[in-house]
Copies of this chain bind each other. A is one copy, B any other.
C-alpha cells in the first residue's frame, strides 16, 4: 500500500488536483465569478480524526461526503446557491494514498450531485488528520435566511425527520444490535451519507416574506434555541415526527431525545408565516412538518412543559463532552 510520504508533496498535489477543475489549479488563488447583485456567503467547518469521524464508523469516502454535506447544508441554511468549496487537509505521511483518494472521491461525489467544484485548498503534513472546508455560495441579499429572522407570528417548519443520523451512529458503534436490515441500512445511511437541503433553495428564494432559520447540524433543539435567542423570541414545540425505523430500534423517549439533541441530520429549521410554510411543505418530502410556533418573550418549551436549552448539546472543549 502506497503511503503519501512515498510520493512526495508534488505527487500528492497532482492526484488531489485531478479532482478539481483545471481552471482553478496552478495559481496562488482561484478566480470565481459571482452573479451581479448577489452577495457572497462564506462558511467554514473543521473536522478532526477520532473526534468528528473515525475509521471505526466512517470510511474515507463517507468522511469526504459528510464533510462536503455539512458545509453545503450551511449554504442551504442561508438560502444560498453554492459556488465551490476549498479543502485544507493536514495528515500524517503514513496515511495511505487509497485513504486520500477515498476522501476526495467522497467529497466530489457529494459535490457532483449539485455540480459544485473544489476551487482550492492546501495539503500539509501533521500528526493528526484534519479536514478544513470553506464553502462559498451566493444569494440575493434580501433573500438571505438569518437566525434572527423569526417573528411571533411565525410557525416552525422542519424539512425532514430528525434523530436518524444519531441512531445510525449508535448502530455503527454497536453492530450486534438486532434490527431488520431495511431499518439498519436506512439509519446507517442517514449517518454516513446525509443530504444537504440544497434542493429547497430555489423554493426559499421565491418566498415573498423574509424567512428566519438555520440548519439542524448541531441538533434540532439547538437550532430552535439558537433561532429564538438570535430573534429575541420564544417558541412552543409539539408533534416532532419520529421515523418508524427509529421507533422500531429504540423507545419513544430515546427516539425523541435523539431527534432533539442527536444532531447531524442536516435538515433546515425555518421560522415563517403559516401560509408560506404550508406552501413549502409539499416540496420538503417525508418527515417534514410544522412542529410549533414562535411566541413573544424568551424560552423554548415542549408542549410537555420541558424547557429546551443548549446545555444538552455539544460542548467540544468542556467537561460536559458527550
From A43-51, A58-66, A241-249, A251-259, give the one contacting chain B.
Answer: A43-51
Check A43–B26 contact: CB distance below 8 A.
no
With a CB–CB cut-off of 8 A, which chain B residues contact A198? none
A181: which B residues are within 8 A, CB to CB?
none
Number of copies of this kind of chain in the complex: 2
Q: How far is the CA of A122 from the CA of B314 in the complex (A)?
A: 14
Question: In the complex, what residues of B have CB within 8 A of residue A170's CB?
Answer: none
Chain B residues with Cβ below 8 Å from A29 are: 41-43, 74-75, 77-78, 80, 135, 137
Given A86-B44, A88-B132, the answer on whether A317 and B125 have CB atoms closer than 8 Å is yes
* Chain A, 39-93, CB within 8 A of any chain B CB: 39-48, 51-52, 73-75, 77-78, 80, 83-84, 86-90, 93
The verdict on A144 contacting B31 (CB below 8 Å), with A8-B317, A9-B314 known, is yes
Please, which residues of chain B bring their CB within 8 A of the CB of A87?
Answer: 44
Give A residues with C-beta under 8 Å from B.
Answer: 4-10, 12, 26-34, 36-48, 51-52, 73-75, 77-78, 80, 83-84, 86-90, 93, 119-128, 130, 132, 134-137, 139, 141, 144, 146-148, 214-215, 230, 310, 314-321
